[in-house]
């Protein structure tokens, strides 16, 4: 009953709040080479718009790359030197906007907002002057010059697929043994719970790895996804994610009495939140705070960051150690819980 009615209600509420493509509190960095009254005014305007919050204040150009790699910064706004003087004397100054286009929709939106704020400022500033003045904006969409949406979708899709195959398939496997009655016979044997679990997992490890390779190959050759970073690193992280998903699947299996329950749990507890809350389509920053915290326990969220990082930005372990550690932790957690929850008797 709870599942039948409760789940949909919870989901609708959750996603109603989570699914928003409005920008709110996007983290940006400012590289102000002028530091004059005008740049400060513009900065203030940006930061008080409600769309942006200050993620970092940068001093040098070479900090930009690192800021993006770290993952929090969505956009960097760069004011050229002597901005105010440029405007007063030559009636012309430029602002460079660099956006992280690994999420091209987001990047586009941010860029548009930024630009409209600049235009607004420009209009207000020169409303009683007669000759045109201009704040020129140069844009660069980083990591995804052409704003290909595939760059956004493929990492998410890879994550979903791996999770689907690994977690859902293993989640049914143990539940199936219970339902078919073969579990009874396995229990009355010298086999330890650990052996039974590993025995069920191994074929899926192999299957999932083959699948992962296929998916990556297709992404690269057919869909045109780049792999800026180390391929070996990418594969290693993928294998880690596979293990994590498998252990999650096994855990669901040990607590489900029938395959049906296992399927429902995988579907509702895994699939949908993964798609909607992991930042795959809808940015996490736009979600209400409680949901943001909730998405922190979604392993898919961290893996998407990892995949995007490696494929689009060429990030190394140096930048992704935090996310990797989280995945390792989750894997160990699920495995431990599975062994603990595994019933050595029928009741």
Partner 1 sequence: MNLPVVVNDVHKAYGQVKALSGLSFEVKPGELFGFIGPDGAGKTTLFRILTTLLVPDAGSALVDGLDVVKDYKAIRKIVGYMPGRFSLYQDLTVEENLNFFAGIFKTTVKENYHLIEDIYKQIEPFKNRPAGKLSGGMKQKLALSCALIHKPKVLFLDEPTTGVDAVSRTEFWDMLKRLQHQGIAILVSTPYMDEASLCDRVALIQQGKLMDIDTPLAITNKLPGRMFAVTSPSMYTLLLELQQYTRAVSAYPFGDSIHLHVTDDSFNISDLETYLTGKGQKGFGIKTIQAGIEDCFMFLMEKHHAHV
Question: Binding to partner 1 by residue 289, rule CB under 8 A?
Answer: no
H/E segment holding residue 303: helix 299-308
User: Which of 132, 150, 148 is CA-nearest to residue 87?
Assistant: 132
Contact 233, 310 (CB under 8 A): yes
* Smallest distance, partner 1 to C-beta of residue 186, A: 7
* Smallest distance, partner 1 to C-beta of residue 194, A: 13
Q: 56: how many CB neighbours lie within 10 A of its CB? A: 17
Beta bridge partners of 98: 76, 140
Return the number of the residue (159 or 254) whose C-beta is nearest partner 1: 254
Binding mask 139-178 for partner 1 (x = CB under 8 A): ----------------------------------------
* Smallest distance, partner 1 to C-beta of residue 346, A: 4
Torsion of CA 92, 98, 101, 105, to 10 degrees: -40
Return the number of the residue (191 or 214) whose C-beta is nearest partner 1: 191
Question: Binding to partner 1 by residue 3, rule CB under 8 A?
Answer: no
Over its C-alpha atoms, the chain yields an Rg (Å, rounded) of 25
Binding mask 181-220 for partner 1 (x = CB under 8 A): xx-xxxxxxxx-----------------------------
Binding mask 107-146 for partner 1 (x = CB under 8 A): ----------------------------------------
Return the number of the residue (35 or 182) whose C-beta is nearest partner 1: 182
Return the number of the residue (196 or 205) whose C-beta is nearest partner 1: 196
Number of residues in contact with partner 1 under rule CB under 8 A: 15
* Smallest distance, partner 1 to C-beta of residue 182, A: 5
Write the CA distances from 324 to 299, 301, 309, 314, integer angstroms: 10, 11, 12, 15
Return the number of the residue (60 or 189) whose C-beta is nearest partner 1: 189
Provide the strand spans (E) within the chain.
26-32, 52-58, 75-79, 92-100, 134-142
Question: How far is residue 68's CA from residue 77's CA, in Å, rounded to a whole number?
Answer: 12
- How far from chain centre, in Å, is Cα 161? 15
Instruction: Kindly list the residues in this chain that would bind partner 1 in the complex (CB under 8 A).
Output: 180-182, 184-191, 344-347
């Amino acid at each position: 009953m709870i599942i039948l009615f409760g789940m949909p209600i919870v989901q609708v509420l959750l996603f109603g709040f989570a699914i928003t493509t409005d920008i709110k509190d996007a983290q940006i960095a400012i590289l102000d080479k002028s530091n004059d009254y005008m740049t400060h005014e513009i900065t203030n305007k940006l930061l008080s718009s409600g769309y942006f919050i200050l993620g970092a204040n940068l001093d040098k150009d070479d900090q930009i790359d690192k800021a993006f790699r770290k993952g929090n910064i969505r956009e960097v706004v760069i004011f050229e030197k002597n901005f105010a003087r440029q405007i007063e004397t030559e009636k012309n100054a430029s602002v460079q906007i660099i956006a992280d286009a690994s999420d091209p929709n987001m990047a586009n939106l941010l860029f548009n907002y930024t630009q409209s704020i600049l235009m607004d400022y420009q209009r207000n500033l020169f409303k009683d002057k007669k000759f045109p003045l201009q704040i020129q904006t140069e844009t660069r969409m980083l990591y995804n010059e052409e704003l290909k949406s595939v760059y956004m979708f493929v990492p998410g899709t890879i994550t979903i697929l791996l999770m689907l195959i690994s977690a859902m398939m293993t989640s049914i496997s143990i539940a199936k043994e219970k339902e078919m009655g073969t579990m009874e016979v396995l229990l009355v044997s010298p086999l330890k719970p650990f052996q039974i679990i590993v025995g069920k997992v191994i074929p899926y490890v192999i299957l999932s790895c083959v699948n992962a390779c296929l998916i990556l190959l297709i992404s690269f050759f057919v869909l045109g996804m780049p792999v800026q970073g180390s391929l070996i690193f990418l594969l290693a992280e993928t294998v880690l994610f596979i293990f994590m998903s498998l252990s999650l699947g096994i855990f669901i299996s040990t607590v489900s009495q029938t395959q049906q329950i296992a399927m429902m749990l995988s579907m509702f507890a895994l699939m949908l939140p993964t798609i909607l809350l992991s930042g795959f389509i809808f940015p996490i920053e736009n979600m209400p705070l409680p949901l943001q915290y909730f998405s922190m326990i979604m392993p898919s969220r961290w893996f998407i960051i990892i995949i995007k990082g490696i494929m689009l930005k060429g990030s190394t372990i140096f930048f992704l150690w935090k996310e990797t550690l989280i995945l390792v932790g989750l894997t160990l957690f699920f495995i431990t819980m599975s062994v603990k929850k595994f019933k050595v008797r029928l009741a």
